[in-house]
Amino acid sequence: MSAASGYALALGQALLCLALAPGLIGLIRWLKARMQNRRGAPVWQPYLELRKLLAKETVVSTNASWLFRFAPYVVFTSTLGVVLLLPVLAVPLPLGAAGDLLVAVYLLLLGTFFLALAGLDPGSPFGGMGSSREMTVAALAEPTIAVAMFALALGAGSTNLGEIVARAMARPAEAVSPGYLLAFTALFIVTLAETGRLPVDNPATHLELTMIHEAMVLEYSGRYLALVEWAAALKLLVFFTLMANLFVPWGVAVQLGAGALLLATLTYVAKLAALAAVVAVFETRMAKLRLFRVPELLSVSFVLALLAITASFLSR
Amino acid sequence: MAATLLAVMVGAYGAGAAAALLGGGHPAGRALSTAGAVAGAGAGLLLGSQVLAGGPVWTFAAPDVVGLAGGILLRLDALGAFFLVLVGMVAAPAALYGVGYSTQYAGRYSLRGLGAALNLFLLATSLVPLADNVVTFLLAWEGMSLASYFLVLTDHDEPETVGAGNWYLGMTQVGLAFLLAAFLGLGAAAPSLDFADLRVAAAGSTGAARGAVFALALVGFGSKAGLIPLHVWLPRAHPAAPSHVSALMSGVMIKLGVYGLLRVGLDLLGGGPPWWGVLLIVLGAGSAVLGVLYALMEDDIKRLLAYSSVENVGMIILGVGAGFLFQALAMPGPAALALAAALYHTLNHAAFKGLLFLAAGSVLHATGTRNMNRHGGLIRRLPWTGPCFLLGAVAIAGLPPLNGFFSEWLLFQSLLPGIGVSSPVVAVLMVLALGMLALTAGLAASAFAKAFGITFLALPRSAGAAEAHESPLSMRVGMVGLAAACVGLALGALPVLATTGAVAAGLLGPSAEPPTFALGLSFRTPAGLARMSPAAVIVGLVGGVALTWLVVRALASRRPLRFADTWGCGRVGQSPRMEYTATAYAEPLRRVFSAVYRPTEDVTVDHHPESRYFVQSIAYRASILPWFERYLYEPLLAWVARGGRRALALQSGSVHAYLAYVVGALVILLGVLMVTGAP
Amino acid sequence: MESLFSQLAMLGSSLALIASFLLLWRRGIPAYIDAFVLQSLALGATTALVGHFTGNPELYLVAGLLTAIKGVGIPLLLRRMARRLGSGRRVPPYVNTATSLLVGGLLVLLAYVVMRPVVQLSQLPTRAGMPLAMGLIFISLFVVVSRRHALTQVIGFLMLENGIALLAVLGTYGIPLIVEIGVFLDVLMGFLVMQIFVYQIHETFQSLDVEQLNRLRR
Amino acid sequence: MSEPTLFLLLLGAPLAAALLAAVGSSASRAVAASTGLLALGALAAALGLAARVVEGGVPTWGPGELFRVDALSAVLAVCVAFVSALAVCLGPASETARHARTFRIFASLFAFTMLVAVTTNNVAVMWVAIEATTITSAVLVPLQVSRASVEASWKYILIGSVGIALAFVGTVLAYFDFVALAGARESALHWTVLMAAAPALHPAAMQLAFVFLLVGYGTKAGLAPMHTWLPDAHAEAPAALSAMMSGVLLAVALYAIVRWKAVVDLAVDGPLPDRLLIGLGLLSLALAALSLLGQRHYKRLLAYSSIEHTGLMCMGLALGPLGVFAAMLHLINHTAAKSMMFLLSGRIRERYGTADIRHVSGLLRTMPITGGLFVAGTLALVGLPPFGLFLSKLTLLRAGFAAGHAWLMAAVLALLAVAFVAFVGHLNRMLYGAPPAGVATGETGRGALVPLAACALVLVWLGLVLPAPLETLLDRIVEITTR
């Protein structure tokens, strides 16, 4: 696969993810509305919101400094960077050599770090509370992601995501091994925590005392809010892609044929929809946990990850 | 060439000290002494890099000085050169920074003493990695401890500073006692105390003796490096010292504890059984997690940085421990990688911790207080210090694209081969170490989000913070210098890794060859586990931000920004008292880790005289349980004090008791004579 | 001839030992001084005896000096001091008489055990008296330790010097003359300085009970 | 100069000084100058004798070789003369006129007795001289009459005399053993004769004698448990006298132990003497180091530090040839450091009027040079590098490890660490903080500081370089004392 077509593939994947991310959020909201027998906004509603926000005037707090205006760009770019490292459609990743799963994890943490600082800058109590709680959850989720990912990496003999997927494709029996299942559940819990989904944080509400992610972005408006919302959507897409392609690798194209890529895109969208449905069902049934019960949830996921790594070690 | 560089280094530091002593009072003298320090640091840097770049190992002997114990003997090999470079890198900016910073002491304390002690401290610290026999090592080591003790005591009008000084000197002396025992125990049978003879003696000695020497050296060097539970002096001494001295102590001096461990553990003893590595990993992981946990709870910015030094030393020792363990399990490739990662993180930590302490010093210089709950809104008032602190915070939290991330990435990669190892104990240990390392990284990010956010962002919480003004040029130059070092270390990750790999291989003995990083745009770790390209990550991020900025500017509306009040549910006016404080920021984590902290809180609310429902003021005091002081040091000190009292009881004042002691001694000795029986 | 010499030497040294037991038994400074005089005379006689039997004229000079200084001079000063400073209210010693006599006996036994290997080495006829001399040394040490009155302690110290001189005479037929004179000078000077201090103690503490000298602690 | 004149100058000068002081009026400058000059003369003579010994000779003098100076005596003679010169020159300045006269008389006599003790070849004369040192120094302890100084002097004279009497018992027993072996001979009590006859002496008697000698001279050297008089005497005596006592009198008593240990080692080839010395040394080190913790007076602090260092030296003597080398070097370093410290403490007490650490603060502000030298002295005493004590302590520990006493040396290291923390803790309380009201700032009597600074320089010089003549002297000592 020549370098040029490789970079074209990478760009294509990036654009595809950019496009799909808001739709994924819209799909989940729509599914939840339908399940609560409401008509719900159409799936493409988020796209309209983004366009509206880009066109609107930007209001910035008098207390905020240049960091407040710089942070959204960093958050957006770091999340986009993670997408470049993920095996979305085809396996021999063009930018595989640039970074592995650790780089991905830490890029996400960079985004959270700057968002937390931006939350503090306007000086409102909500921003401070959101940022403090976000960093607490991020700090506790960090070990789980790392250990869960290493469980897979150990099986595949390399921490580069492309090789993990290739390895899983080569030996499908392994994908159903206990190590993978435990890692998948651990990663699923962490996804809910990191992207601010229900049991940890309620994305739909603006009730000051309960929101974590929303509290930090309370002060943003106009194009900054668009960037931050898009980055949040991208982050959700990243976690869904990780869960989809790492644990259910079928459908990822191995060679660069037009037909294979089309097939890969379709299976990828189908998998995302299925995961969205699972999350939507999960959120309608679950109530929000008290903040100080969240660490117990995260420690459960950490134990699962530890078991995953020992299981994958035993199977070697 | 090397000999002249050494002469220049020693001469420059000496001249600097002399200039400070003679003319320390007025500016010319202080400028001269700083010039001496900077020249010395530069010469050290050149000397180290010359040997690191493959220059010959050279020795220098002055047998007549201190001849009784073997004379002065210096030898510069790769390991020594690496640490010499580390000293030079932090010393030059810190010395420059000192010029501006020490003006605040002008009236109160003798600048003469400060300048002289600083130069002597740098000279001794530069000579420690060069020493090649026990007495030179001890002279340099004690010179370093003594000079830094007097530097810590610069601000001796504060009662807590003298207390910190006592703790610091006490711990260094206990550490020295252990070092003496280790070196002399090792060299008991050796003809002389030169390291060459010690290597021969170590090869010949029994496993138990080598284990004992290693344990003693671990305590001695661990107390200097700040490993748990020997770290208690660090959060007391560093905040009390002037900030450029704290930068040197945290950035450079505690690294020489790591140097000592490598020199004794790998070079002199030539590695040992697996339990050495396991012990180091356990201590390292413990120090890392507990260090960052305590850092989170600090409201004093310099104490936070001091505890974060404990955390980073824990991570370094984790890497060193992995190196020891793999060498014991005959896995030279992963061992070299682990040591290379540890050394690279040592260098990075020296750079960004130095930067953070200098920036914290600038904040202290501007606002007059170290309490973060009094700071705020400094990013506008200190346009140079703010970005420097942010850069340092991003680096120390291990976030891309800076150097902290690359060395932590390498530390993770160096632990991975351990999981595949056959013996279950090692595998489980590695998994737990991995988990704790990841937890530390997360908590570090949270700690430094708090440190930067509360200190620099939002509104100023006190008059001092409100009227803060940027620090003088010399302090800014110092900070920017170290910031450049951080960025340089990130960009130059590959060549730096090559040198640390060579140093690590040198340490592991002739058999091990340096870890082959496929050094192109990206490098592949020897175990083939991971590929990562620092350049791609940096270019990707910086380029990405610029690209996004351009695209958004094109897409978004042309209308200018509008400024308005922060949203406050409709209230009028925003006051700093509404903001989150450092204590509040860390409160969720205090609840989560309450088992470790055992927090105690007392809240006193005094109500309005007329009605119970209106509150006049609320006083909230929270404190966490200082485990090590309460359950290790206080009982120890109490036991020694009791011994002291019992010894003093002997001096009861009565002549008859004294005479009874004399006669008693006579009778007892006669009894001993009777029992042993004359031959 | 040998046996007569050794018996007389034994008589002299046992007389000295009995004098020390007298001190343990009796009460009051004057009684202590009398015991000390008896002991010094016994010591002088023994020295003269040894001088006679071994035909060494120097010992006569030593015996003379000994009886003059320790037998007459020092007791005179002691009596003057006792009279002037007054033995004050009776200061009970730490140990009552019965126990101190018992301890004295034990100490003599200890002296025998200690000196047994040493005595076998020597062939001198007077060697049998050495354990007694050592016993005298131990008893005088006990006196210095257990008595509370400053003057008694001084007398105890003087008895200690007597014991050593006796040991020297019995064991080695007298140490060389210049050393002997040196020792005498030392004992005399030591006594004089102690005398000055006793007066100073009396001046500053208004009593000679050494128990009050316990302000310097720690 | 020929040997006899050297001896005459060495021993005659202090006597002449005492006579001159007694005759002349106490206030006159001439008397002060001449006594100082005579003391320096004695120092010159000691150095001359030492030079003669370095060239290989063993100068002897007096009837029947009564005085003999070998390497050991030369080192001790130089130390005694150096400290006496220091004390006689600086001491009287701080005393009132009446006391100055008594001080000069008895200080010179005290120096004379110590010089006789270290240069005589006859062990009995050595005993007589050491007993005389007790008497001459005891007179000076209660110079300023107070309840405390009277009590200290009584304890000093009583315990000192009783202790030293036991040493004479030991001397008599040794002489008895020699007589039992080879009959009474005129020069029987000469050390050289005893050394020659030592292998034939009976171990039983010599062991018994050594016990008495060790307890006797141990009392004078301040070894535990016979040390109890030392803190009181040194703290209450005038500063110059305690400098002489702590600095060099303890060393003279240790000299006597070294002399006798050489004899006993030849007679008794068992490990008992070494074990006794290590036992007492360790006990002294332990008691002194622990007692430093609770101290409240800085002069008592220095006294306990003397006990600690004497204990260390005593252990060094029992650690083989390298141990003896280190112990003797430690003795020289300690003499210089301790005498300087006591003289400095005298100046501090004069300025602050109290010896209580809690009432002394801001020393660096009120007396910067004295404070600086006090800090240097403290760092030297706790064994920090640039000073000589660090080197001798390191060599001593190395000898200990080489002799296989690893655990013993570990205990020593722990105790030295305790002593360090205690000493520097007290020092900090004195140096920093605001000076108490009514204490004048600024140095007075700068002339006296010059010799003290010279002491500090000697310490640093000995810390960095071991001069060749001193090394030959120390090697010679090791030859004559260890078999």
End-to-end CA distance of chain C: 60
Distance CA D377, CA D301 (A): 13
> Of D280, D338, D337, D331, nearest to D481 (Cα)?
D331
Q: DSSP state, B263?
A: I
To the nearest whole number, what is the mean pLDDT of chain B?
A: 89
CA pair distance D98, D92, nearest whole angstrom: 10
> How large a percentage of chain A has pLDDT more than 90?
34
Question: What is the Cα gyration radius of chain C?
Answer: 18
Q: Tell me which of D125, D169, D208, D234 to substitute to probe the interface with C (most C C-beta atoms closer than 10 Å).
A: D169
* pTM for the whole structure: 0.91
CB D142 within 8 A of CB C194: no
- How long is chain A? 316
Contact partners for chain C, using 3 or more CB pairs closer than 8 A, are B, D
**Beta carbons within 10 angstroms of residue B164's beta carbon:** 22
**What's the 3-state SS for chain A?**
CCHHHHHHHHHHHHHHHHHHHHHHHHHHHHHHHHHCCCCCCCCCHHHHHHHHHHHCCCEEECCCCHHHHHHHHHHHHHHHHHHHHCCCCECCCCCHHHCCHHHHHHHHHHHHHHHHHHHHCCCCHHHHHHHHHHHHHHHHHHHHHHHHHHHHHHHHCCCCHHHHHHHHHHCHHHHCCHHHHHHHHHHHHHHHHHCCCCCCCCCCCCCCCCCCHHHHCCCCCHHHHHHHHHHHHHHHHHHHHHHHHHHCCCCCECCCCHHHHHHHHHHHHHHHHHHHHHHHHHHHHCCCCCHHHHHHHHHHHHHHHHHHHHHHHHHC
DSSP assignment, residue D247?
A: I
User: What is d(CA B178, CA B125) in angstroms, rounded to the nearest whole number?
Assistant: 20
Residues of chain C neighbouring D177 (CB-CB closer than 8 A): 118, 121
* Residue ranges of domains in chain A: 3-315
The model's pLDDT over A197-231, given as tens digits with 9 standing for 90+, comes to: 888 888 877 777 778 888 888 889 889 999 999 99
* Section A161-177 average pLDDT: 79
Q: Is B678 on the interface with C (CB under 8 A)?
A: yes
Judged against a pLDDT cut of 80, whether residue A96 lies above it is answered with: no
User: Phi/psi class of residue B528: alpha, beta or left (left: φ > 0; alpha: ψ in -120 to 50)?
Assistant: left
What gap in Å lies between CA B492 and CA A52, rounded to an integer? 44
* Percent of chain B predicted with pLDDT > 70: 96
pLDDT in tens, B134-147: 999 999 999 999 99
pLDDT of B532 over the 80 cut: no
Residue B269: which of B178, B187, B329 has the closest Cα? B187
- DSSP for C63-95, written as a single string: HHHHIIIIIIIHHHHHHHHHHHH---S----SS
Interchain CB contact of D125 with C (< 8 Å): yes
Q: Is B676 on the interface with C (CB under 8 A)?
A: no
Q: Which site among D139, D159, D164, D168 would you substitute to test the C interface, given the most C Cβ atoms closer than 10 Å to its Cβ?
A: D168
Half-sphere exposure of A84 (CA within 13 A, CB side): 24
Sign of the C-alpha dihedral computed for residues D60, D66, D71 and D76 taken in this order: negative
Model confidence band, residue B521 (pLDDT cutoffs 50, 70, 90): very low
Tell me whether 0.90 is exceeded by the ipTM.
no
Alpha helices for B263-300 (secondary structure H): 274-296
3-state helix, strand, coil in chain C (%, to 5): 85, 0, 15
pLDDT band at B558 (very low <50, low <70, confident <90, very high): confident
- Of the candidate ranges A26-30, A133-137, C207-211, D109-113, the one whose mean pLDDT is the lowest: C207-211
Q: Which residues contact D201 (CB under 8 A, 6 or more apart)?
A: D174, D177, D178, D181, D263, D266, D267
Å from A33 to nearest chain B CA?
Answer: 28
Q: Are B411 and B341 in contact (CB under 8 A)?
A: yes
- pLDDT band at residue D64 under the 50/70/90 scheme: confident
Contact, A298 vs A189, CB < 8 A?
yes
Spatial CA neighbour of A232 closest among A67, A118, A152: A118
C180 CA: distance to closest CA in chain D (Å): 9
Terminal C-alpha separation, chain A: 32
Backbone angles phi, psi at B371, to 5 degrees: -80, 115
Place of tokens 């060069």: B130
Cβ neighbours of B578 in A, within 8 Å: 123-125
Task: Identify all chain C residues contacting B666, using CB atoms and an 8 Å cutoff.
Answer: 141
Contact A120, A134 (CB under 8 A): no
Instruction: Report phi then psi at D384, rounded to 5.
Output: -100, 155
Q: List, run by run, the mean pLDDT of 10-residue segments along chain C (218 residues).
A: 84 92 88 93 92 87 91 92 74 81 92 88 84 94 90 92 92 85 90 90 84 81
Rounded Cα distance, D480 and D483, in Å: 7
* Chain C residues touching B659 at Cβ < 8 A: 141, 144-145
What does the alpha-carbon distance between residue D412 and residue D37 come to, in Å, rounded to a whole number? 42
Residue B519 has a pLDDT of: 42
Q: Averaged over B381-396, what is the pLDDT? A: 94
Phi first, then psi: what are they for D61, rounded to 5°?
-160, 165
Show residues of chain B in contact with A128, CB under 8 Å: 579-580, 584-585
Burial environment of residue B309 by CB neighbours within 10 A (0 to 12, 13 to 18, 19 or more): buried
Nearest 5 degrees, angle CA B347-CA B350-CA B352? 110
Written as one letter, the residue type at B405 is F
pLDDT of residue B625: 87
Residue D415's identity, in one-letter code, is L
The closest alpha carbon to D310, from D335, D293, D292, belongs to D335
For B69, name the nearest residue in chain D, comparing CA atoms only: D395
Q: What confidence tens digit (pLDDT) does each residue in B13-52 have? A: 999 999 888 887 788 888 889 999 999 999 999 999 988 8
| Closest residue in chain D to residue C168, using alpha carbons only | D172
Q: Is C84 exposed, middle or buried (0-12, 13-18, 19+ CB in 10 A)?
A: exposed
Would the CB atoms of C167 and D169 count as touching at under 8 Å? Answer: yes
Please, are residues D170 and D103 in contact by the beta-carbon 8 Å criterion? no
Query: Which positions in chain B touch A76 (Cβ < 8 Å)?
Result: 548
pLDDT of residue A91: 76
B161-214 pLDDT, tens digit each: 988 998 999 999 999 999 999 999 998 888 888 998 999 988 888 889 999 999
Residue in B647, B658, B664 nearest the CB of D229:
B658
Residue type, B82: F
Pick from C164, C179, C204: which is nearest to D125 by CB? C179
Do B368 and B450 touch, CB atoms closer than 8 A? no
Prior bond of D14 cis (ω within 30°):
no
B 106-145 residues with CB below 8 A of D? 135, 138-139, 142-143
Residue B619: beta bridge partners?
Answer: B604
Q: Where are the beta strands (DSSP E) in B318-388?
A: none
Q: Helix (H, G, I), strand (E, B), or coil: what is residue D159? A: helix
Angle at B304 (CA atoms; ends B173, B37), nearest 5 degrees: 60
Give residue D280's identity as a one-letter amino acid code.
L
Cβ neighbours of D154 in B, within 8 Å: 655
Residue of C114, C148, C218 with shortest CB distance to B648: C218
* pLDDT tens readout for residues D399-449: 999 998 989 999 999 999 999 999 998 998 888 888 888 888 888 878 888
Q: How far apart are CA C6 and CA C12, in angstroms?
A: 10
Q: Is chain C in touch with chain D: ≥3 Cβ pairs within 8 A? A: yes
**Inter-chain CB proximity C148 and B656 less than 8 Å:** yes
Least confident of A59-63, C92-96, C99-103, D344-348: C92-96
Contact between D14 and D109 under an 8 Å Cβ cutoff? The reply is yes
What is the mean predicted confidence (pLDDT) over D216-221? Answer: 94
pLDDT per position as a tens digit, B586-624: 989 988 898 888 888 888 988 888 888 888 888 888 888
Count CB-CB contacts under 10 A for residue A170: 11
C110 contact residues in B (CB cutoff 8 A): 667, 670
The pLDDT, as a whole number, for residue B527 is 55
Q: Is the pLDDT of residue B63 over 50?
A: yes
Q: What is the DSSP string of D117-146?
A: HHHBSBHHHHHHHHHHHHHHHHHHTTSS--
Contact A250, A94 (CB under 8 A): no
Q: Return the closest-CA partner of residue A266 out of A1, A9, A20.
A: A20
* Residue D131 contacts C, CB cutoff 8 Å: yes
- For the beta carbon of residue B208, count every other beta carbon within 10 angstroms: 8
Tokens matching residue A312: 């994958």
pLDDT above 90: percentage of residues in chain B? 52
Mutate to test the interface with C, among D123, D173, D230 (most CBs of C within 10 A): D173
* Whether pLDDT at B520 is above 50: no
Residue D183 dihedral angles phi and psi, to the nearest 5° = 70, 160
A146/B434 CB distance under 8 A:
yes
Single-letter residue type at B92: A
